Structure 1
Amino acid sequence: MDAKFINVLILGFGFMFVFTSFQTMGNIEKTILDSIANDDENFKGDGYTSLAVIYASFALCNWLAPSFISFTGPRTAMLLGALTYTLFMVIFLFPSTWLLYFASAILGAGASITWTGQGTFLARCSNPANISRNSGVFWALLQCSMFFGNLFVYFQFQDKDHIDADTRKLVISVLIGVAILGIVFLASLRPVADNSSPDTEMQQRQTGLANAVFALKSAANLFMTRDMLLLSLAFLYTGLELSFFSGVYGPSIGFTKKISESPKQILGLAGICIGAGEVFGGGLFGILGPKTTRFGRDPIVIAGYIVHLIAFFLIFLNLPNSAPFTDTNDISYLDPPRPWIALICAFLLGLGDACFNTQIYSMLGGVFVKNSVGAFALFKFTQSVAAAVSFFYSSHLGLRAQLGILVIFGTIGTICFCIVEWAAKRRMQEEVSDDSKDVSHDSQSVSSYGK
């Protein structure tokens, strides 16, 4: 096992532990904050607003991340970013409305350098022959973060209708400890030389500021192309569904009192099922990518769209319209709501998300290989903006309106992705045809010369 692959494994474990903390907290944040508000009338913090601030800050700071990393390097950037995730956990031990939103903004900035640093470091540890394997291994380890934290929450929230202060402190303290363990892993990463080719995207070495300006101009020019404008609608959908399954769906289950005698307990199981769907889809379409994409990327995206439509319809039948806001005795079309349906939907949400994301990454790394930095920047920016908008309206729109928005943008995004994919296939076929004609012409010339 070579040193670079060991680095990939360490990177995967580091992110697994850090995001075991953050993704678990994102899943239960609304529930935790509502319990704090019930105990402290001066506390006015809202989970959806906090998550909206995180993704808005992430989107804005995403453009500055390349410049920051040019000075610090990816390892230092990931360490600093991981510290902001830990800081975000700590503030839940000292509930304060302004501190919650301040830490959310700091976390958004930290997330931008964390993920840009991750992509840069993974690329340095890979080559064209093993990038698919390394990405698949990292993805699988990362998505395992959905299991452990939510399993812990499942047992801690057992038989609890209200999350008391002692339970909150225990859960948050454990999550902080797990995040610190992730930082230890990231700190143990070994330095890797930059293996990028300057003449692919930049003709010469430039300062960090010049790099940032170049990346911004390049991304702006790329955004105005037909293909990227179409793909941006698919990016928007991934941001909307990300915010729904990571921050809205879990609390909606926990607030539906008739779904179980202990609905808060099912919230943890839902997070585990989402993770199972992500890992299954990531393994199937990521690690086995060359085999599953034999017929193109569009069938997998269409499959993910159908999976999500089934999940949205079942959620519509199973959970009441008021479920995203607070504890409710309302019902939808199923009386009582079925917990097993809620868990199946959680798995489908994770599986569909994996379908979309693996194929978008494949598209950006293949079709836009000449400007992958700009392409990935636009993807993260658009996705983060959509997630921020979604969390803002989640505090005001009922579950049915949110599902309607997801169906509309899911349909548009899937169609636009397929249009770009089909155009890419046509260009590839034309290039193959032109190459064949050139070979045939050269053969004829040689034959004529021989005569």
Structure 2
Amino acid sequence: MTPEGKALSNIVILGFGFMFMFTAFQTCGNIEQTVIKSLNNFTASGYTSMSIIYGVFSASNLVAPSVVAVVGPQLSMFFSGLLYSAYIAMFIQPRVWSFYTASVLVGFGAAVLWTAEGNVLAINSTETTIGRNSGLFWALQQFSLLFGNLYIYLAWQGHDHISEKDRQTVFIALTVISLIGCFLFFLIRKPDPSEPTPSETSEAPLHTESTDSASVSGPPRRSLCTQALDAFVKACKLSVTKEMMLLCLPIMYTGLELTFYSGVYGTCIGAMTRFGHDAKGLIGMSGLLVGVGEILGGGVFGILNNNRLGRNPVVLLGLLIHYLAFYLIFLNIAPDAPQAPEEGTDLQAYMTPNVGVALFCSFLLGLGDSCFNTQLLSMIAFLYKEDSAPAFAVFYFIQSIMAAIAFSYSNVLQLPWQLLLLVVTGFMGTLSFFLAEWGVVAKRRDSDYDSI
């Protein structure tokens, strides 16, 4: 196999590994609050668990590069994946202490997993293939939103209550699926040596295969720690640049709406007794349609977008799509749905609850999210192409902090107040993104003028 073929094969395996793992984990996150409500004498909260996960994830970004540098990307992904599997398996026989302990461990594992993923993507890509490889990996990973949620829809259709047998069957299956993803990482082979590329250079601190430091003690290990510290210092410096400060608001918005579509909205649908006996099964269908929106938006605005019109129209479209979704949700879903008990809520909002409208909003949430994320990733990669690793560390740090905050207030804030926060933050984030994009356009024009 040619070096390029081997590298492409590694990206495909990486994508399938993440697809299996997140088919299990994202399905778990989508249904866990509903499952917890069905448990007797279980005082933990799914919202609190996700808040812990994202909080620890954010803090662990400080040490994840060092872990990957010492252990290597392949083993880092495998052991991090085992932590994800343990979190899912905990629901087979749930205990409050094990639930929150697993939440902390998954938060740490997530930081290591995504750092290692970036390393594998970088060392298997060149300047000409990084766009293709990133799009391929993203598409494969997003398919994880489809299969697990479809299974939940079929398995729980017509169930008013989630029995112990229902819960155990689902989570045993999800645990096995997650473990398959973990072991797929062992099929990734070391890429053939090639000339260094900008992407490889920017990820050098994580590229343990470029030296023999793994087999030598003393100074090389100290050098890895120094490189990790340098990356941290560089991330701190990038976080106070004008461009990154402007991008902070739209990144914050993606963290808030990530919480809403991945954990809160599915719970709301499952709590609506006016949707009939299929309400619990509709949680899976909602997650599936979020995935359809993500994949469609990613294909149109990510892989196929040539930026002739710039990024602003895509972000504005995403905001309008989300505003439509928020308005319909406000009219269609009961205000107490996020905190409703296991038996659900009999309340209604301002219209007769409609299943079709609820599922259409799921699709809109995924489509709008893809508009924001594809353009933010494109913007950061363009602005900080020489310092991509610390720049994306800042991105994930801000996003995960906001996701943790959002899961915390989801325990107490009724649906209309959560939607209001999303509306205000989305508007401010979009304006801030516009300013950042106009700055990029101005710099490009100045550069073109200076080159004449």
* TM-based fold match above 0.5: yes
What is the letter of the counterpart of residue 333 of structure 1?
Answer: Y
**Is it true that 1:341 corresponds to 2:357 in the alignment?**
yes
- Is the contact made by 1:61 and 1:112 (CA closer than 8 Å) also made in structure 2? yes
User: Deviation at 1:73?
Assistant: 1.6
**Is it true that 1:113 corresponds to 2:123 in the alignment?**
no
Give distance in 1, aligned partners of 2:202 and 2:21: 33
Alignment equivalent of 1:328, drawn from 337, 340, 345: 345
Alignment equivalent of 2:414, drawn from 379, 398, 403: 398
Q: CA RMSD in A?
A: 1.7
What is the letter of the counterpart of residue 331 of structure 1?
Answer: Q
**Is it true that 1:16 corresponds to 2:13 in the alignment?**
no
- Is the contact made by 2:127 and 2:197 (CA closer than 8 Å) also made in structure 1? no
User: Deviation at 1:154?
Assistant: 0.6
**TM-score, with length taken from structure 1:** 0.92
User: Deviation at 1:297?
Assistant: 1.1
User: Deviation at 1:50?
Assistant: 0.6
User: Deviation at 1:76?
Assistant: 1.3
Cα distance change of structure 1 residues 282 and 201 upon mapping to structure 2, 3 Å threshold:
closer
- Is the contact made by 1:66 and 1:208 (CA closer than 8 Å) also made in structure 2? no
Cα distance change of structure 1 residues 6 and 262 upon mapping to structure 2, 3 Å threshold:
same
What is the letter of the counterpart of residue 365 of structure 1?
Answer: A
**Is it true that 1:242 corresponds to 2:241 in the alignment?**
no
Where 2:44 maps in the other structure, the secondary structure is coil
- Match runs of 1:365-380 below 5 Å: 365-380=381-396
Where 1:397 maps in the other structure, the secondary structure is coil
Q: Which position in structure 1 is the counterpart of 2:155?
A: 156
- Is the contact made by 2:271 and 2:279 (CA closer than 8 Å) also made in structure 1? yes
For residues 298-323 of structure 1, give each alpha carbon's deviation from its aligned partner in whole angstroms, at most 9, with x where no partner exists.
Answer: 11111111111110001001001101
Where 1:330 maps in the other structure, the secondary structure is coil
Give distance in 2, aligned partners of 1:225 and 1:127: 28
Alignment equivalent of 1:295, drawn from 303, 306, 309: 309
Where 1:261 maps in the other structure, the secondary structure is helix
Give distance in 2, aligned partners of 1:121 and 1:360: 21
For residues 330-379 of structure 1, give each alpha carbon's deviation from its aligned partner in whole angstroms, at most 9, with x where no partner exists.
Answer: 000112x0000011100010011111111111111111112212210110
Q: Which position in structure 1 is the counterpart of 2:215?
A: none
Q: Which position in structure 2 is the counterpart of 1:440?
A: none
- Match runs of 1:60-75 below 5 Å: 60-75=59-74
Comparing 233-242 with 211-220, greater Cα deviation is found at: 211-220
User: Deviation at 1:286?
Assistant: 2.0
Q: Unaligned regions of 5+ residues in structure 2, if any?
A: 206-210, 212-219
Cα distance change of structure 1 residues 225 and 176 upon mapping to structure 2, 3 Å threshold:
same
Where 1:309 maps in the other structure, the secondary structure is helix
Give distance in 2, aligned partners of 1:187 and 1:34: 38
Give distance in 2, aligned partners of 1:185 and 1:279: 23
Cα distance change of structure 1 residues 200 and 116 upon mapping to structure 2, 3 Å threshold:
closer
Cα distance change of structure 1 residues 196 and 59 upon mapping to structure 2, 3 Å threshold:
farther
Alignment equivalent of 2:333, drawn from 304, 319, 336: 319
Cα distance change of structure 1 residues 317 and 242 upon mapping to structure 2, 3 Å threshold:
same
**Is it true that 1:229 corresponds to 2:228 in the alignment?**
no
Q: Which position in structure 2 is the counterpart of 1:140?
A: 139
Give distance in 2, aligned partners of 1:17 and 1:419: 39
Comparing 206-215 with 374-383, greater Cα deviation is found at: 206-215
Give distance in 2, aligned partners of 1:409 and 1:166: 41
- Is the contact made by 2:294 and 2:369 (CA closer than 8 Å) also made in structure 1? yes
Cα distance change of structure 1 residues 199 and 364 upon mapping to structure 2, 3 Å threshold:
same
Where 1:48 maps in the other structure, the secondary structure is helix
Q: Could you tell me the percent identity over the aligned residues? A: 41
What is the letter of the counterpart of residue 155 of structure 1?
Answer: L
Higher Rg:
1
Cα distance change of structure 1 residues 270 and 72 upon mapping to structure 2, 3 Å threshold:
same
Q: Which position in structure 2 is the counterpart of 1:448?
A: none
Give distance in 2, aligned partners of 1:202 and 1:148: 36
- Is the contact made by 1:260 and 1:339 (CA closer than 8 Å) also made in structure 2? no
Number of equivalenced pairs = 429
Cα distance change of structure 1 residues 196 and 213 upon mapping to structure 2, 3 Å threshold:
farther
Q: Which position in structure 1 is the counterpart of 2:29?
A: 26
Give distance in 1, aligned partners of 2:77 and 2:204: 24
Where 1:2 maps in the other structure, the secondary structure is helix
Alignment equivalent of 1:309, drawn from 323, 335, 341: 323
User: Deviation at 1:207?
Assistant: 2.0
What is the letter of the counterpart of residue 442 of structure 2?
Answer: R
